[in-house]
Amino acid sequence: SKSRGGGTTIRYDKQGHEDIRKRYRLAEELRSAVSRQELTLHFQPIIRADSRKVTKVEALARWFSPEFGEVSPEEFIPLAEEIGIIAELSEYLFHIAASDIQELRELNHGNENRLALSFNISPVNLHSQNFIPVISNILAKTAADMSQLELEITESMLIEDNEMVKQNLTLLKNMGIRLSLDDFGTGYSSLSYLHRFNIDTLKIDRSFIASMQESTHSREIIRAIQAMALSLGMETVAEGVEYEEQDRMLRELEVTHIQGFLHARPMDRTALQVWMKHWNTV
Ligand code: C2E
Ligand code: CA
Ligand code: CA
Ligand code: CA
């Protein structure tokens, strides 16, 4: 009783099995990489559109696995959340970020004295009671000014009706830490949330920048976001700027900051230092 479909079914099952096995191996590798502190951070400069000064850098997690090669954070961050190690990972990454920024400020006394750090956090971080104590301990050790830290959150974290999340966001704001809304324009933001949580920066999603040269619609959305940010006293960052033409149009639209491969890719601390020296002398 071998039906023709039988073989197909078996092949699919085998494929499904492989996927599960791979994911399981990846999770195991990630777990041990985190406990051995093998993940690193790259930093991408964020440039003021008017003065062209680098005012902040975004920290982006990197993981090179001997078995799987370079794994994207789009893959390992959700995995870390799923297997319950995101708190440990975030704490470790924040630790590196704080000390790297500190070192950069010391090496470049002068212009970069006020170089701010933009750090991505996961919704899981905001659900935790430990998150704020961890952040403030690390900040206290590095004697960093709270206003030089910006935490990047996503819209889903604002609309979620969770007491702990609301409490943590309010606490962070009261400490003087700035909040930035990532991938703005793609989610379900409501103006009242922007106001209520006192959001400081809107990061205009890369998709609008990518299509702005051809699409009037995208340009109008960027214009509307900029107008709203201005009237609510918020800054903006245009993400994923890759072409001179985009940079020019964005300056015309008066966005506050530019971030993207056109000016700088994410890089390690040493490369960033070299890049900043060069940027400041041209
Ligand atoms: P994101 O926060 O939206 O980060 C921006 C992503 O766009 C980064 O990808 C960056 O390398 C990339 N990018 C920057 N400029 C350009 C450009 O001009 N063109 C294009 N095509 N891409 C550009 P990356 O580093 O792969 O990070 C992907 C996502 O992973 C991040 O998206 C963020 O959601 C998450 N992530 C990264 N690091 C962390 C972290 O430390 N913690 C948490 N919770 N999430 C992180
Ligand atoms: Ca981000
Ligand atoms: Ca983003
Ligand atoms: Ca994103």
Contact between 126 and 152 under an 8 Å Cβ cutoff? The reply is no
CB of 78 closer than 6 angstroms to any ligand 1 atom: no
Q: Identify the segments of the chain with pLDDT beneath 70.
A: 1-12, 108-113, 282
SS3 (DSSP) at 164: helix
With a 6 Å cutoff on the Cβ, whether 120 touches ligand 1 is yes
Of all protein residues, the one whose alpha carbon is nearest to atom 37 of ligand 1 is: 60
Does ipTM exceed 0.85?
yes
Indicate the pTM of the whole model: 0.93
Does 74 contact ligand 1 (Cβ within 6 A)?
Answer: yes
- Closest listed residue to residue 93, CA positions, set 112, 66, 118, 127: 118
Mutate to test the pocket of ligand 1, among 100, 101, 120 (most ligand atoms within 8 A of CB): 120
Do 211 and 218 meet the contact criterion of CB atoms below 8 Å apart?
yes
Q: Is 198 left (phi over 0), alpha (psi -120 to 50) or beta?
A: left
Report the alpha-carbon distance of residue 154 to residue 249 in Å, rounded. Answer: 26
CA distance 219 to 226: 11
What's the per-residue H, E or C state across 204-251? ECHHHHHHCCCCHHHHHHHHHHHHHHHHCCCEEEECCCCCHHHHHHHH
Q: Hey, whose CA ends up nearest to atom 25 of ligand 1?
A: 60
How confident is the model over 178-230, as pLDDT tens digits? Answer: 999 999 998 777 778 888 889 999 999 999 999 999 999 999 999 999 999 99
